[in-house]
């Protein structure tokens, strides 16, 4: 629907511009005709000062020219009036399309900027899942600022780290994942955060630090699902280290 409105606004804008150009063209043509009419009247005035046969010929020619020009000017005026009305109608339609677009944008803004905590969290996760990491980050940050002690706050903090991890911004991701560990120690997101910190170090070729976090996961959270990932990643690091030795 937004595309249809945008297309309609574009078409109406072009119509208004075209109508304006056509009106200007008709106005210029009318001015030319009016000048020609004045010239004919001047000619008639000059003919009136003559006498005899020349006077009759000149008078008849001048009157014929005046009649023809007046007829042309009336036609032009009619076309100009019609064009002016068309432009007014097109402008009215354009104004209506703009009003509809503004109303639609307002509704979209409301949907994109929810105030309810559940709606903010849901939209943030939706944006992250769709790859819109920047928008997801804004929403998760907004959630944490407004509801820092909510039961979903640890998750929001974790997903905030994921938004950086998805962009391969490893150091920024590590900072956000560390906040999960420090600020939400009892959250079930802590094992996941530990593993993701290790993976962030591993992605930068730092297996020494990566192993510290993988091993911490295996020791402190061995029953958590994240422990399986930690074990696999730790094995990769050891294998790489052994190969380099």
Q: How far is CA 235 from the centre of its chain?
A: 46
Is pLDDT at 8 greater than 80 in this prediction?
A: no
Question: For residue 54, what pLDDT is reported?
Answer: 62
Question: For residue 84, what pLDDT is reported?
Answer: 76
Task: Decide which of 51 and 174 is more confident.
Answer: 174
Residues forming CATH 1.10.287 domain(s) in the chain: 2-112
For the domain covering 2-112, report its CATH number.
1.10.287
Contact indicator for 128, 136 with CB cutoff of 8 Å: yes
Residues sharing a CB contact under 8 Å with residue 127, sequence separation 6 or more, in sequence order? 133, 135, 136, 139
Count the Cβ atoms, other than its own, within 10 Å of residue 51: 8
Question: For residue 89, what pLDDT is reported?
Answer: 79
Please provide the average confidence, as pLDDT, over all residues in the chain. Answer: 84
DSSP type of residue 115: -
Using pLDDT thresholds of 50, 70 and 90, give the confidence band for residue 216: very high
Using pLDDT thresholds of 50, 70 and 90, give the confidence band for residue 44: low
Question: For residue 88, what pLDDT is reported?
Answer: 78
CB-count burial class (<10 Å; 0-12, 13-18, 19+) for 232:
exposed
Look up the CATH superfamily of 117-244.
Tetratricopeptide repeat domain (1.25.40.10)
Alpha-helical segments (H) within the chain: 2-48, 52-112, 117-129, 133-146, 153-166, 170-183, 190-203, 207-220, 226-244
pLDDT in tens, 170-198: 999 999 999 999 999 999 999 999 999 99
pLDDT in tens, 124-170: 999 999 999 999 999 999 999 999 999 999 999 999 999 999 999 99
Place of tokens 């990566």: 210
Residues forming CATH 1.25.40.10 domain(s) in the chain: 117-244
pTM greater than 0.75: no
Q: At what angle do helices 170-183 and 190-203 cross, to 10 degrees?
A: 160
Least confident of 42-51, 131-140, 219-228, 231-240: 42-51
């Amino acid at each position: 629907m937004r595309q249809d409105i945008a297309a309609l606004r574009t078409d109406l804008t072009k119509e208004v511009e075209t109508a304006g150009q056509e009106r200007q063209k008709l106005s210029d043509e009318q001015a030319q005709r009016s000048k020609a009419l004045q010239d004919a009247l001047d000619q008639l005035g000059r003919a009136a000062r003559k006498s005899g046969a020349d006077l009759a010929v000149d008078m008849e020619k001048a009157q014929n020219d005046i009649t023809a020009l007046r007829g042309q000017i009336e036609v032009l005026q009619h076309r100009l009036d019609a064009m002016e009305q068309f432009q007014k109608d097109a402008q009215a339609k354009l104004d209506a399309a703009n009003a509809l677009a503004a109303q639609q944008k307002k509704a979209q803004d409301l949907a994109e900027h929810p105030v309810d905590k559940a709606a903010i969290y849901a939209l943030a996760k939706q944006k992250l899942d769709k790859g819109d990491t920047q928008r997801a980050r804004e929403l998760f940050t907004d959630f944490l600022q407004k509801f820092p002690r909510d039961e979903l706050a640890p998750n929001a903090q974790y997903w905030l780290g994921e938004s950086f991890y998805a962009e391969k911004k490893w150091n920024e991701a590590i900072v956000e994942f560390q906040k999960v560990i420090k600020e939400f120690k009892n959250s079930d997101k802590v094992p996941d955060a530990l593993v993701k910190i290790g993976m962030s170090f591993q992605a930068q070729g730092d297996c020494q630090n990566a192993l510290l976090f993988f091993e911490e996961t295996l020791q402190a959270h061995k029953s958590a699902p994240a422990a399986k990932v930690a074990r696999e990643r730790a094995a990769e690091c050891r294998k790489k280290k052994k190969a380099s030795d």
